[in-house]
Structure 1
């Protein structure tokens, strides 16, 4: 019998898969139970409301993403980074992100946070992690005032990732756009 923590994680994983496949509207307790391979009662035992389910799913994604991005930021700080290395890293992160249901779900959750202000703190936490990584990369590139440009760089990444999701365009466009931004900022 799985532990309560394992059951809770199975529920969160199921919620992220469902959101990625069918959006927030596809999240029902019955579907979660079926996807997670647990009883219907386990869903309501661990999460009393759909808001709590969505919030915890977004926070789980944030925790994983923050850890991954923090490791990359630490690597940039420890090793230093030049423009070509930054481009390779961005290409690795963006190009390595296959748009399976687990990677589509955060976009859905961010849109849901626009509708439900109770989810905004969790979304803001994730964007803060993206901003920290952007600051580290821009600092490593010698860009003046990297904090000022971090949000713009993150917005560019998200916009182009959304474009990739919608059109199937390659990650190379994202790398090219970020190189253009970084080069312009270095010459500013």
Structure 2
């Protein structure tokens, strides 16, 4: 028998898969329970409302991604790093990120946050985590005013990832755009 935290994790993972496959409107307690292989009552036990479930799912994804990106930054940015090396790393991470249902889900949730004020706080928290990570990497690169640059860099990366998702384009545009933004484009 799974413990409550494992059950909650399975519910969140199932929710992300459903959102990535069929959109936010496809998330029902019954479908989530079936996908997570938990009882229907487990959904309402862990999440009082649908918004709680969506908010927690978005937050869980960002925590996982932030941890992954932080680990990569610490692994690859141990010494002086050039903007070209950092842009190439971001490009490699983007290329290695499969657009499976769990990676499509956040895009759906960000759009849903535009429609649903109750999700906006979770979306803002997610973008703040991305901004903080970007600021630390930009600071390590010696970019002036990294906190101010973080938001545009995050917006650029997410926007180009969305473009890549929609068009099937390669990551070259992302690397070029990051170098252009840092003023080191050749």
Q: Match for residue 116 of structure 1?
A: 116
The alpha-carbon deviation at position 161 of structure 1 amounts to 0.6
The alpha-carbon deviation at position 116 of structure 1 amounts to 1.5
Q: Match for residue 54 of structure 2?
A: 54
Q: Match for residue 129 of structure 1?
A: 129
Q: Match for residue 86 of structure 1?
A: 86
TM-score, structure 2 normalization: 0.91
Q: Distance in 2 between matches of 1:46 and 1:140?
A: 40
Q: Secondary structure at the match of 1:15?
A: helix
Q: Distance in 2 between matches of 1:103 and 1:66?
A: 13
The alpha-carbon deviation at position 65 of structure 1 amounts to 1.9
From the superposition, tell whether residues 121 and 93 of structure 1 become closer, same or farther in structure 2 (CA, over 3 Å).
same
Instruction: Give structure 2 stretches of 5+ with no counterpart.
Output: none
Q: Secondary structure at the match of 1:149?
A: helix
Checking the alignment, whether the CA contact within 8 Å between 1:76 and 1:136 is kept in structure 2 is: no
Q: Match for residue 170 of structure 2?
A: 170
Instruction: Give structure 1 stretches of 5+ with no counterpart.
Output: none
User: Which aligned pairs between 1:13-32 and structure 2 lie closer than 5 A?
Assistant: 13-32=13-32
Q: State the superposition RMSD in angstroms.
A: 1.8
Q: Distance in 1 between matches of 2:45 and 2:140?
A: 47
Q: Match for residue 40 of structure 2?
A: 40
Q: Distance in 1 between matches of 2:144 and 2:8?
A: 44
Checking the alignment, whether the CA contact within 8 Å between 1:19 and 1:101 is kept in structure 2 is: yes
Q: Distance in 2 between matches of 1:10 and 1:39?
A: 12
Of 7-16 and 130-139, deviating more is 130-139
Q: Match for residue 152 of structure 2?
A: 152
Q: Match for residue 12 of structure 1?
A: 12
Checking the alignment, whether the CA contact within 8 Å between 2:66 and 2:133 is kept in structure 1 is: no
From the superposition, tell whether residues 51 and 87 of structure 1 become closer, same or farther in structure 2 (CA, over 3 Å).
same
TM-score, structure 1 normalization: 0.90
